[in-house]
Amino acid sequence: MKFIELAKTLLLSLSFFSLSIGAVEQKSNLDSLMPSYVDVRHTDDLNKLKEMKIVRALVVPSRTDFYIRNGKISGLVVRLLDNYEKSLNKGVKREDEKIRIVYVPVDFDQLIPGLLDGRGDIAASLLTVTDERKKLVDFASGHTNRVKELVVISSNSDINLSSVDDLAGKEVYVLKGSSYVEHLEQLNQTIPNNPIKIIEAQEHLASEDILEILNAGIIEITVVDGFKANLWAKVLPNIKVRDDLIINEAGSIGWAVRKNNPELKKDLDIFMNKVKKGTLLGNILFNQYYGRDQKLENLKSSEEREKFSQHIDLFKKYGDQYDLNHYKLIAQAYQESRLNQQLVSPRGAIGVMQVLPSTAADKNVAVAGIDSLENNIHAGAKYMNFIRMRYFDSPDISPEDQIFFSWAAYNAGPANVKKMRKLADEMGLNKNVWFKNVEIAAGRIIGTETVRYVANIHKYYSTYLLLEQKESREYNTN
């Protein structure tokens, strides 16, 4: 299999940053994540929320909007919500009388459903206001007007686009559940004979991840809000923002609230006009969190293609033997060692799967000679299977989450994952779901290492899968 710019592909990194600005004091712990006592679903307006002294914000974890590092919550959305919390509590002196904003992490495509079914009070993401969304919710859209959704292409591609009509028949990879999908579908109505092939990204990937995948040359075309694309273009050298190719420019962006919450909408409208992009505070916040310098490694693509070719058959062999997806296994190996069999960690872990000799010798693994490539992959796959079957083989846990939990246990140990799941349950989160749930508890117990570990592997796997699908389509076409 031929892999395009594989070095760049596999060097997509999930970075957690801790930034500070003078606008507000950063929260020092995770207490503002949704505790169990606010897990009851309700759809109350602002007056009732003030009585309860709790406002629930639905947030989407990403490297810019909402993230956790060293037990601290930060990001653009957190900064905005901190300022809104300060606004809600203006003139209130006693701490026990102050209103608190708590965060409810969800995937992007669950923002509006979560709002409507009462899991949160504000969909606190920069949602584009569309006609379809306005049928469901109201918007507090003070951030900016006339947001342009722009085509962004890989600068290494030879694709030729002179107008949006030239997207006909081409693959466009976009954020799952986004307004980009809706507007591309509308464009398709004008080119019915050769429609755009709209590909929605896998769950748990954010716009920043998609831009990095584009930067790596794995996809050729995406659509992103113009302000975000142009800021990230400063640090992603291989993307080209096509300011002349506009998918939509009629909308604005803002936070969503339920239609039966007019008091909350009115209060948010007033607040958002004070912090919208273009004000002093708004510019500070937006520029601080978007387009930050990224530390992406650079290796020769030929070296990475050779590594992949040398390893993939063995990963398939032992993936099949232990009923594990071989792309997920090799993605895990890349996270562990960058596919370097010669790597030995300070703790003595060996090879591509970074297996400890004591683990390999355990009766549940019992694979000798892990200094050899094949035995190392065998031991790592067998240990992954043991973890999954011993600790997470439950009908209450989806097969996908069984793998996520097994990755976490491979990194942090099964005992720590047990503690994470227990804490998640106590926090009112779903102990059987990793993303947006147990990963939150993981950040609280042992920091961000395991959170990054699982997220990175998922991103590498998603990229491998994209490449496989692309190669398959090219093969079938030829």
Domain ranges, ordered by start, for the chain: 36-143+254-289, 145-252, 301-477
Global pTM reads 0.64
Query: pLDDT tens digit string along 262-283?
Result: 999 999 988 887 765 544 444 4
The reported pLDDT for the residue numbered 395 is 96
- Per-residue pLDDT band for 297 (boundaries 50, 70, 90) equals very low
Q: How far apart are CA 467 and CA 473, in angstroms?
A: 10
Q: Which of the given ranges, 9-18, 200-209, 225-234, 317-326, has the highest pLDDT on average?
A: 317-326
Is the predicted pLDDT of residue 295 greater than 50, yes or no?
A: no
The reported pLDDT for the residue numbered 36 is 45
Output the CA torsion sign for 70, 76, 79, 84.
Answer: negative
Q: Which CATH architecture has domain 36-143+254-289?
A: 3-Layer(aba) Sandwich (3.40)
Is the predicted pLDDT of residue 151 greater than 70, yes or no?
A: yes
Whole-Å CA distances, 379 to 6, 140, 356, 388, 393: 26, 54, 10, 14, 20
The dotted CATH code for 145-252 is: 3.40.190.10
- Within this chain, domains 36-143+254-289 and 145-252 share the same CATH topology: yes
3-state secondary structure 266-317: HHHHHHHHHHCECEHHHHHHHHHHCCCCCCCCCCCHHHHHHHHHHHHHHHHH
Is the predicted pLDDT of residue 188 greater than 90, yes or no?
A: yes
CATH number assigned to the domain with residue range 301-477, chosen from the 4 options 1.10.530.10, 3.30.70.260, 2.102.10.10, 1.10.730.10: 1.10.530.10
The reported pLDDT for the residue numbered 19 is 24
